[in-house]
Chain A
């Protein structure tokens, strides 16, 4: 533009744009801003040289500084592991009962166990062990495989029907499918089990059911129906039911039993983590 217009008041050039008599000034950038901008450009060039910056066809420019964000992350993790080793070495050397007796170690286990539980256990057992039908409640005082610290630790480490060599394993026979019992007998035994739990009035069915129970069920669930934790036979006399509390539900489970599976956590979690989460589960309210 040959003839630039100058604004009389500010002395600045105008851009030539005009709206309703108002003209736009072509005010230059402030000097400090401009120089900061140039410094940034110079800095960027230096950055490309020192840090990883540009993609190439198969890789990227590595930079002369030897920095990588993955390396930084690994170093962070290693440092964290190092700082935790004061605790974790004690955890590795002690069993869960010993750890549970030490208030400081227990506090550490609680903090870590809570997070481990939320990440790994809560999908089935619910937050804070609130449970769901088929997935045992961990906050109550009823334990299929025992509620001591050690028993919980074994269950967490090796799982239930997990396929691990040392897994906890129990199987309820398929009483109807394998023609061990007929439908009438199953109805009787269900009635008997209901009476164990809520003390309902004895009837003919209950008496017949008692005989069937004695023959078929007591081996795993105990003579009195109170369960045998070492065999994984649930207590049938209490108010807690894995599936649901009704005669029909019991008959269904006897006819065609469902078998839940809990994975073995050995290999998925570290030994120390398993101890932490076992102690956390023990503290949820029902630990023995």
Chain B
């Protein structure tokens, strides 16, 4: 007891405890192997998609953009091939985001952070920037030597060259982003000839800057500190998820064998190549870590060494914790792909996708927005009749001009007058709405006072497409004097 009390009262003895650790620059070594090849392949495909997709054309008829994928900011439409999303249908985008999220959960539960390691833009562009860095400054050892070397013209020249190429790539990245929002061929000419708006140049500068900073300078810090995903990815894993693991049972105790004698040493020769190639600078042999982006380059590294030494490959492998434990205990390893969480994630994914497809397939090609006049609520006319005013907006979401017959339901004696159309009341009025446009009409409905049963009377506007005969209803009220 006395000792404990004494301990608390004792002044802290640590000489100088620094709580802040500055970043240690990571200089990953180049490695070749299966996963490196796979990463180059996904990089090529995804970059080709990024730069190529905006150039795909898709004929939608005259007066409509012919770009296959376009978020038309000025026209307020999202075009994805034959799908055209209006602003009020932006929930489809929410659906896409939910599909993306659940899809991410599913692949993470199956195979760890493959998204982070292979497909995330941060990884793709960092890989690209590192490739440039290696071309200009050489591989890891040369770069580290150069970092330590004193200032020289050669060093300066290489630095300038590297950052210039980075800047060019960043500029191309930022420029291409604009293609998704404005017609690509037109805006490219405008940008190159200085004709584009300052907004366009501003956004190019923004995305150029962020690309340069995130992929060139920040790199793994984006994944470790900025991205929220690593923080909760652990909730997606279970012991059957395939993740990049070090088979500790086989590797330990690590050490360099003297001659051909292994002695009691494991397969790990402690060459540190797996650490050197890691883009986030961690040691996979310490087990699962938040910083690991699952790029599998350490597998390539270790396999290249195991191959040279003539040992079994996959000392570091895509393996599950359950398998690793089984192997350690000499039991047969059996990868379980079908597990409750996989089934649940898949079912959710299928359900949401089905809902999206159903929604898109059956989506209305017409929307009615109706605003009732509130002031005046109703107008008494000289013949004693009651008139209500409405502002009717018809959203024609088809690529053809349409004519709609407007009539009222539930109010048999009502007459319709539309400003700019028939002068006198009629039982129905034909309203033309151009293709892919919104028609706005001022509609007056007039009814004899004695035909109204109450102060607020249920009423419906019925629109009939004259070509197809399809009906669309919009419920509203018709107000009259107090009864």
CA distance A142 to B382 in the complex (A): 6
Within 8 A of A (CB), among B372-398: 373, 375-377, 379-384, 387, 389
Chain A nearest CB from B385 CB (Å) reads 8
A127 CB to nearest B CB, Å: 4
Q: Is the CB of A139 within 8 A of B379?
A: yes
**Do A137 and B379 form a contact, CB below 8 Å, given A9-B17, A285-B387, A285-B444?**
yes
Residues of A within 8 A of B420 (CB): 103
- 8 Å CB contacts to B: which residues of A118-137? 126-131, 137
Closest chain B residue to A130, Cβ basis: B376
Min distance, Cβ A117 to any Cβ of chain B, angstroms = 12
Q: What 1/0 flags go to A121-164 for Cβ under 8 Å of B?
A: 00000111111000001011110000000000000000000000
A22 within 8 A of B: no
In the complex, are the beta carbons of A285 and B379 less than 8 A apart? yes
Q: Does A105 lie at the interface of the complex (its beta carbon under 8 Å from any beta carbon of B)?
A: no
- The answer for the CA separation of A11 and B377 in the assembled complex, in Å, is 75
A43-51, A234-242, A253-261: which lies at the interface = A234-242
Contacts of B14 in A (CB 8 A): 9
Closest to B387 in A: A285
Indicate whether A129 sits within 8 Å of B381 (C-beta atoms), given known contacts A9-B16, A283-B419: no
State whether A238 and B382 are in contact (beta carbons under 8 Å apart), knowing that A9-B17, A139-B376, A285-B389 are contacts in the complex: yes
CB distance from A135 to the nearest CB of B (A): 12
A130 touching B375, Cβ below 8 Å: yes
CA distance A103 to B17 in the complex (A): 78
Query: Per-position contact with B for A270-285: 1 when CB-CB < 8 Å, else 0?
Result: 0000000000000101
**Which residues of A lie under 8 Å from residue B419 when comparing CB positions?**
283
Selected contact of A126 from candidates B376, B442, B444, CB within 8 Å: B376
Which A212-260 residues have a C-beta within 8 angstroms of B? 235, 238-240
Contact B382 A235 (CB under 8 A): yes
A239 near B389 with CB under 8 A, answer no
- Given A9-B14, A283-B419, A285-B444, check contact A137 B376 (CB 8 Å): yes
Would B16 and A239 count as touching, CB distance under 8 A? no
**CB–CB B375/A239 < 8 A:** no
The answer to whether A128 touches B373, judged by C-beta atoms less than 8 angstroms apart, is yes
Measured between beta carbons, the chain A residues less than 8 angstroms from B380 are 140, 239-240
- Could you say which of B376, B382, B442 contacts A239, with CB atoms under 8 Å apart? B382
Contact A128/B382 with A8-B16, A9-B16 known, Cβ cut-off 8 Å: no
Q: Do A239 and B17 contact each other (CB < 8 Å), given the known contacts A131-B376, A139-B376?
A: no
Interface size class of B (residues with CB under 8 A): 20 to 34
Contacts of A285 in B (CB 8 A): 379, 387, 389, 444
Q: How far is the CA of A238 from the CA of B80 in the complex (A)?
A: 59
List residues of chain A with CB within 8 A of the CB of B442. Answer: 283
Residue from B17, B375, B384, B387 in contact with A128 in the complex, judged by beta carbons closer than 8 Å: B375
Cα(A283)–Cα(B373), bound, Å: 14
B384:A239 contact, CB within 8 angstroms: yes
The answer for the CA separation of A96 and B444 in the assembled complex, in Å, is 23
Interface size on A, residues (CB 8 A): 22
Closest residue of chain A to B377 (Cβ to Cβ) is A130
Contact partner of B381 among A11, A103, A127, A140, CB < 8 A? Answer: A140
Residues of the A chain whose Cβ atoms lie less than 8 Å from the Cβ of B376: 126, 128-131, 137, 139
Residues of B contacting A141 in the complex (Cβ-Cβ under 8 angstroms)? 381-382
Given contacts A9-B17, A285-B389, contact A127 B383 (CB under 8 A): no
Contacts of B383 in A (CB 8 A): 238-239
Chain B 414-427, CB-CB to A under 8 Å as 1, else 0, gives 00000110000000
CB distance from B424 to the nearest CB of A (A): 11
- The residue in chain A whose Cβ has the minimal distance to the Cβ of B449 is A239
B404 shortest CB reach to chain A, Å: 20
Q: Complex: how many Å from CA A130 to CA B419?
A: 18
Q: Once the chains are docked, how many angstroms separate the CA of A137 from the CA of B375?
A: 11
Question: Is A239 in contact with B373, judged by CB distance below 8 angstroms?
Answer: no
Residue pair B375, A240 in contact (C-beta under 8 Å): no
Q: In this complex, what residue of B is CB-closest to A239?
A: B384
Chain B residues contacting A8 (CB-CB under 8 Å) are 12, 15-16
> Which residues of chain A are near B387, meaning CB under 8 Å?
140, 285
Complex Cα distance, B419 from A286, in Å, reads 11
B382's partner among A11, A129, A240 (CB-CB below 8 A) is A240
Q: Are A11 and B375 in contact (CB under 8 A)?
A: no
Measured between C-beta atoms, what is the minimum distance from A87 to chain B in Å?
A: 20
The CA of A72 and the CA of B383, in the complex, are separated in Å by 55
Contact B382 A140 (CB under 8 A): yes
Contacts of A137 in B (CB 8 A): 376, 379
In the assembled complex, the Cα of A8 lies from the Cα of B14 at a distance in Å of 9
Q: Is A240 within 8 A of B381, CB to CB?
A: yes
Nearest CB on A from B312, distance (A): 50
Q: How far is the CB of B343 from chain A (nearest CB, A)?
A: 53
Q: Mark B5-24, 1 if CB is under 8 A from A, else 0.
A: 00000001011110000000
Chain B CB count within 10 A is highest, among A127, A129, A130, A285, for A285
0/1 interface trace, chain A 90-132, chain B, CB 8 Å (1 if under): 0000000000000100000000000000000000001111110
Instruction: Chain B residues near A130: list those with CB within 8 A.
Output: 375-377, 379
Contact: B375 with A127, CB < 8 Å?
yes
Q: How far is the CB of A139 from chain B (nearest CB, A)?
A: 5
Q: CB-defined interface of B439-472 with A at 8 Å, one 1/0 digit per residue?
A: 0001010000000000000000000000000000
Closest chain-A Cβ to B481's Cβ sits at a distance in Å of 10
Q: Which of B12, B16, B384, B389 contacts A139 (CB 8 A)?
A: B389
Collect the chain B residues with CB atoms within 8 Å of residue A283's CB. 419, 442
Q: Which residues of A contact B379 (CB under 8 A)?
A: 130, 137, 139-140, 285-286
Q: What's the Cα separation between A130 and B459 when bound, in Å? A: 22
Measured between C-beta atoms, what is the minimum distance from B163 to chain A in Å? 23
Q: Which of B377, B379, B420 has the most CB atoms of chain A within a 10 A radius of its CB?
A: B379
Given the interface pairs A127-B375, A131-B376, A239-B382, the reply to whether A11 lies near B389 with Cβ below 8 Å is no
Q: How far is the CA of A195 from the CA of B149 in the complex (A)?
A: 110
Nearest CB on A from B67, distance (A) = 31
* Closest residue on chain B to residue A106 by CB atoms: B420
Interface 1/0 per residue, B129-163 and A, CB below 8 Å: 00000000000000000000000000000000000
How far apart sit A140 and B373, CA to CA, in the bound complex (Å)? 14
Q: A139-B389, A239-B380 are in contact. List 8 more A-B contacts (CB 8 A).
A: A8-B15, A9-B16, A137-B379, A140-B379, A238-B381, A238-B382, A238-B383, A240-B380
Instruction: Identify 8 residue pairs between A and B in the complex whose beta-carbon atoms are under 8 Å apart, listed by A's number.
Output: A8-B16, A9-B16, A126-B375, A128-B389, A129-B376, A140-B381, A239-B382, A239-B383
The 9 lowest CB-CB distance pairs between A and B, nearest first, are: A238-B382, A130-B376, A239-B384, A127-B375, A142-B382, A139-B379, A140-B379, A130-B375, A141-B381
